């Protein structure tokens, strides 16, 4: 049964629901790519599907529009696939469970993928219907959310259009006409494992709102990975610890909502008579209780401090601590654990500078968005912790509208990595999209918007990245504007798409193509 069959425009929501039936998280776009190619084959439309999965579908001009200049519409196939901890959906294999409430469309327990499934739905509805339009060149790219890999590899030779309507915006009435450039910095911290005995403990930071690391970074919400670094650093002052496992976040461009570390506590600061000495832990009830009370006190202090800091930004932030039993196994040693904790604690995050030319616009920012352990080395030491070494991976999104500032921030991260003994790698570097004071496409779009809504659109640049920058570099002279319907809390399980805004943007798009 179709959940959205009674929503208007019916053709748009039909295709949106079809898209949501297909798993299409970043790195998992083969099925959606094949769906688009099959869509074109069934309708005898010219199409191109490259070896990595990008798809171009071309529909020739409708009658009377043969002499009009072609127009390109573009969006990306992948979504940031996140889910609530208790959600049982396998987002690698299963579709989404859609629901509506009032004007809101959302997915139960997961992100919705309105970013950028709605672009695909608009494009397919146009291709499947009979509308007045010039030659349409629909461009669907893969893996935009993890570095714009699809747009970077796209072969643009089948394209003739010099006008591009990008459909990857999340606010109706905003005409995006510029964006920041960005890159991903990966830090890899490797260490040999040592055989240790200690108390197995877990530290968790959760309850955060998260959000898009470009569009919502200015809200100064908590970053769970960086907050975990603070908590671990504070605990490491009073206890020797060894990392068994550590993880947080789901994507470098999503502000992480939770993070956790599993450690062995091998010693703690026992204080008597005004002096403190590091005591080794043991199965002794007295020492275990003393250690537990010390770490629980630190946890309580961190909770109070963070709730005060983030009271108006992330009021549900919570630090949790689970004190386990004595155990043994191969883990990162105390010295290397301390070095990594220091690296994690010193990672910059959030807004680094605001624009001096566009008031209110973030100029430079970064977001540590992924943290996890990768096993390395040969052999198998224990059933649940194989290998002779472990590697801790941290993925960081860097953005700036100034190339020099972006480069400086990348170099800062590389220096931090070098000081900590970690390796760094820069991937997915993409250019910004410079604002053009003169844009014939934007002028025509403004004229149509004014005609339909009797008001002016807002023209602005944004801090988040869109693929226009890469496409402009591939197609010199390309005139671009990015639009879309209202969405909130993208890249999170709270993501919602406005039904009424989706309809209005569709009506605007249909009218726009009639006059282009």
The pLDDT of 471-495, averaged and rounded, is: 95
The pLDDT of 25-41, averaged and rounded, is: 97
Query: Both 31 and 143 in a single domain?
Result: yes
| Helix 224-236 and helix 334-346, axial crossing angle in degrees, nearest 10 | 140
24, 26, 28, 33: CA torsion to nearest 10: 60
> Which residues neighbour 448 within 8 Å (Cβ) at sequence distance 6 or greater?
508, 511, 512, 515
Distance (Å, whole) CA 238 – CA 458: 53
Query: Both 234 and 253 in a single domain?
Result: yes
Which position among 17, 115, 137, 144 bears the catalytic label?
144
Query: Both 146 and 252 in a single domain?
Result: no
CATH number for the domain spanning 467: value is: 3.40.630.10
CATH number for the domain spanning 281: value is: 3.30.70.360
Q: The domain containing residue 276 runs over which residues?
A: 183-430
Distance (Å, whole) CA 11 – CA 137: 19
With tokens 């049964």, the residue in question is 1
Residue 284 has pLDDT above 70, yes or no: no
On whether residue 298 sits in a domain, the answer given is: yes
On whether residue 282 sits in a domain, the answer given is: yes
Q: What is the 8-class DSSP label of residue 424?
A: E
9, 11, 14, 15: CA torsion to nearest 10: -120
On whether residue 313 sits in a domain, the answer given is: yes
Q: Residue 456 — φ and ψ, nearest 5°?
A: -90, 140
Which position among 17, 18, 78, 262 bears the catalytic label?
78
User: Domain boundary residue among 402, 430, 458?
Assistant: 430
Strands 136-141 and 458-462: unpaired
Angstrom CA distances, 65 to 59, 62, 70, 96, 490, stand at 12, 6, 9, 39, 37
Q: Which of 238-252, 326-340, 348-362, 372-386 is predicted with the least confidence, judged by mean pLDDT? A: 372-386
pLDDT computed for residue 278 by the predictor: 73
**pTM score, whole prediction:** 0.76
Query: Both 477 and 338 in a single domain?
Result: no
User: Domain boundary residue among 379, 412, 430?
Assistant: 430
Distance (Å, whole) CA 99 – CA 106: 6
Query: Both 440 and 421 in a single domain?
Result: no
On whether residue 2 sits in a domain, the answer given is: no
Q: Residue 400 — φ and ψ, nearest 5°?
A: -165, 145
Residue 382 has pLDDT above 50, yes or no: no
Average pLDDT, the chain: 92
pLDDT computed for residue 378 by the predictor: 44
Of residues 291 and 139, more confidence is placed in 139
On whether residue 452 sits in a domain, the answer given is: yes
User: Domain boundary residue among 406, 430, 454?
Assistant: 430
Give the model confidence (pLDDT) of 127-178 as tens digits: 999 999 999 999 999 999 988 999 999 999 999 999 999 999 999 999 999 8
Query: Both 467 and 421 in a single domain?
Result: no
Query: Both 426 and 505 in a single domain?
Result: no
On whether residue 79 sits in a domain, the answer given is: yes
Q: Which of 49-53, 115-119, 159-163, 359-363 is predicted with the least confidence, judged by mean pLDDT? A: 359-363
Query: Both 89 and 15 in a single domain?
Result: yes
Does the annotation count 144 as an active-site position? yes
On whether residue 3 sits in a domain, the answer given is: no
pLDDT computed for residue 410 by the predictor: 97
Residue 381 has pLDDT above 50, yes or no: no
Does the annotation count 252 as an active-site position? no
Query: Both 317 and 214 in a single domain?
Result: yes
Query: Both 157 and 248 in a single domain?
Result: no
Query: Both 252 and 400 in a single domain?
Result: yes
Query: Both 301 and 345 in a single domain?
Result: yes
- Tell me the two tokens of residue 15: 């295709």
On whether residue 84 sits in a domain, the answer given is: yes
Distance (Å, whole) CA 31 – CA 18: 12
- E-strand spans in 90-238? 98-101, 104-107, 136-141, 163-166, 174-179, 181-206, 211-212
**Number of domains into which the chain is organized:** 2
Determine the length of the chain: 516
């Amino acid at each position: 049964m179709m959940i959205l069959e009674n929503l208007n425009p019916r053709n748009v929501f039909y295709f949106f629901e079809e898209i949501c039936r297909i798993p299409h998280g970043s790195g998992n776009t083969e099925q959606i790519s094949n769906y688009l190619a099959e869509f074109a084959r069934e309708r005898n439309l010219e199409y191109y599907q490259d070896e990595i999965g990008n798809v171009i579908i071309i529909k020739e001009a409708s009658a009377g529009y043969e002499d009009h200049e072609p127009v390109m519409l573009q969006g990306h196939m992948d979504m940031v696939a996140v889910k609530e901890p208790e959600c049982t959906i396998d987002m690698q294999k299963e579709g989404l469970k859609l629901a509506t409430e009032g004007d809101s469309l959302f997915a139960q327990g997961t992100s919705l993928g309105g970013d950028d499934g709605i672009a695909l739905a608009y494009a397919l509805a146009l291709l499947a219907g009979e509308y007045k339009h010039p030659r349409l060149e629909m461009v669907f790219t893969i893996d935009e959310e993890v570095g714009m890999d699809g747009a970077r590899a796209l072969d643009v030779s089948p394209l003739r259009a010099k006008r591009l309507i990008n459909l990857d915006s999340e606010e109706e009435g905003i005409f995006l006409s510029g964006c920041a450039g960005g890159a991903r910095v990966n830090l890899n911290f490797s260490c040999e494992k040592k055989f240790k005995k200690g108390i197995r403990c877990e530290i968790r930071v959760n309850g955060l709102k998260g959000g898009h690391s470009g569009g919502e970074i200015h809200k100064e919400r908590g970053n769970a990975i960086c907050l975990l670094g603070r908590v671990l650093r504070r605990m490491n002052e009073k206890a020797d610890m060894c990392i068994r496992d550590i993880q947080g976040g789901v994507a470098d461009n999503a502000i992480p909502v939770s993070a956790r570390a599993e450690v062995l506590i091998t010693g703690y600061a026992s204080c008597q008579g005004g002096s403190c000495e590091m005591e080794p832990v043991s199965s002794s009830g007295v020492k275990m209780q003393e250690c537990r009370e010390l770490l629980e006190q630190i946890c309580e202090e961190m909770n109070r401090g963070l709730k005060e800091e983030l009271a108006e930004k992330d009021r549900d932030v919570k630090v949790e601590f689970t004190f386990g039993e004595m155990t043994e196994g191969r883990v990162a040693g105390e010295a290397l654990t301390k070095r990594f904790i220091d690296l994690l604690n010193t990672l910059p995050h959030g807004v680094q500078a605001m624009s001096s030319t566009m008031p209110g616009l973030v100029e430079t920012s970064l977001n540590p968005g992924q943290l996890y352990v990768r096993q390395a080395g040969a052999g198998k030491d224990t059933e649940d912790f194989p290998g002779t070494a472990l590697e801790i991976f941290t993925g960081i999104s860097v953005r700036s509208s100034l190339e020099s500032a972006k480069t400086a921030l990348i170099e800062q991260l590389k220096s931090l990595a070098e000081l900590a003994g970690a390796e760094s790698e820069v991937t997915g570097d993409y250019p910004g999209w410079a604002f053009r004071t003169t844009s014939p496409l934007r002028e025509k779009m403004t004229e149509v918007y004014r005609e339909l809504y009797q008001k002016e659109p807002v023209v602005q640049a944004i801090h988040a990245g869109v693929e226009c920058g890469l496409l402009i570099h591939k197609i010199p002279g390309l005139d671009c504007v990015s639009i879309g319907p209202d969405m909130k809390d993208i890249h999170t399980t709270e993501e919602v798409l406005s039904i009424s805004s989706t309809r209005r943007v569709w009506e605007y798009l249909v009218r726009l193509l009639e006059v282009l």
